[in-house]
Amino acid sequence: MDIQKEKEELIEMFGIHFETVHHLPPLASRILGILIVDGSKFEITFESLVEQTNASKSSVSTSLNLLLKLGNITYYTLPGDRKKYYRPSPFSERMLNYVKIIGFEKEIIKRMMSYRQKTATTTAELDNLEHTKEYERHVLQMEELLLRTIKKFKEIEKNKS
């Protein structure tokens, strides 16, 4: 397979992933895909994103502002150059969103278990309590793994600077 076609397919895969899993608009999803695939090799400007996506300036601008607001991307400038250059936020920062999700999930689980422990009278409710306990164990393991991964990412990012 030709490398350009492979790159385009990879960007499209990222786009579909961010659309379906993170509920980002299609253009913002593709822009994030472009930045992930090319952001460490090329300095990517607003103009290059307009050209690569074949989208209007206002659409690209709206998408970039959304991605900046969500913390998915950052930008930097170069001395004497008025352009902004975009890149994905560090992996460790993007992964912190998952920690927030897990934190909220842990609170729901805690409340559900407390409620079930007070109210469970049927076999189905007792089974639900056991499922919830097992799910809590799973979520705690996920959190531990995620925190270890973030720590590793920070070490890699620190060594890169």
3-88: CATH architecture: Orthogonal Bundle (1.10)
User: Of 97, 84, 96, 79, nearest to 35 (Cα)?
Assistant: 84
157 φ, ψ (degrees, to nearest 5): -65, -35
* Residue 161 burial (CB count, 10 A): 5
DSSP state of 56: -
Whether the CB-CB separation of 92 and 153 falls below 8 Å is answered with: yes
User: Of 109, 122, 22, nearest to 36 (Cα)?
Assistant: 22
Output the pTM of the full model.
0.79
Flag whether pLDDT at 97 surpasses 90: no
Q: How confident is the model at residue 87 (pLDDT cuts 50, 70, 90)?
A: very high
- Confidence (pLDDT) at 42: 78
Domain boundaries, the chain: 3-88, 91-160
